[in-house]
């Protein structure tokens, strides 16, 4: 997430996720999820991530991650950073070899399989 000079958020976790997917794959997505109800007050309620995690980046920094499940809305044709992506079936995720040239961490495989099950997009 990024902040302005007064320390206020410039984008929510959902906005950051949508931006990152678009930058890295060129896909425009919508996040599928639930928002907790709020009765009164001035709180902006955010989508609940499917999971959250912390993992080390280096000896001085940790990465705080939010996992959201998304559906593709459209495809941007230019300007994405990364062009290496592909779709997986649940079976491919379950049987992904540990010695594959491209590492696919277990938490990514598990969350991707859950997304397929929850969103019904495994065919």
Give pLDDT, residue 83. 58
Is residue 115 scored above 90 in pLDDT? yes
Question: Do residues 33 and 50 lie in contact, with contact meaning Cβ atoms separated by under 8 Å?
Answer: yes
- Computed from CA positions of residues 8, 61, 23, 120, in that sequence, does the dihedral angle turn out positive or negative? negative
Q: How many CB atoms lie within 10 A of CB 115?
A: 21
**Non-local CB neighbours of 30 within 8 Å, separated by 6+ positions:** 18, 70, 71, 73
Least confident of 4-8, 15-19, 31-35: 4-8
3 vs 96, more confident: 96
Give pLDDT, residue 111. 94
Averaged pLDDT for residues 41-52:
84
Give pLDDT, residue 9. 73
What does the alpha-carbon distance between residue 30 and residue 73 come to, in Å, rounded to a whole number? Answer: 7
| Domains in the chain, CATH or no CATH each | 1-83 (3.90.79.10), 86-123 (no CATH)
**Non-local CB neighbours of 53 within 8 Å, separated by 6+ positions:** 64, 65, 67, 107
Averaged pLDDT for residues 5-27:
85
């Amino acid at each position: 997430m990024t902040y302005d000079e007064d320390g206020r958020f410039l984008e929510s976790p959902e906005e950051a996720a949508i931006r990152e997917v678009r930058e890295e794959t060129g896909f425009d997505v919508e996040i599928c999820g639930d928002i907790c109800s709020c009765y009164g007050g001035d709180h902006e309620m955010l989508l609940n991530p499917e999971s959250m995690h912390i993992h080390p980046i280096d000896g001085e920094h940790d990465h705080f991650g939010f996992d959201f499940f998304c559906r593709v809305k459209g495809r941007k044709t230019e300007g994405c950073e990364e062009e290496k992506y592909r779709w997986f079936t649940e079976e491919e995720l379950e049987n992904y070899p540990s010695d594959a040239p491209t590492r696919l961490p277990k938490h990514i495989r598990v969350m991707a399989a859950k997304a397929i099950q929850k969103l019904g997009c495994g065919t």
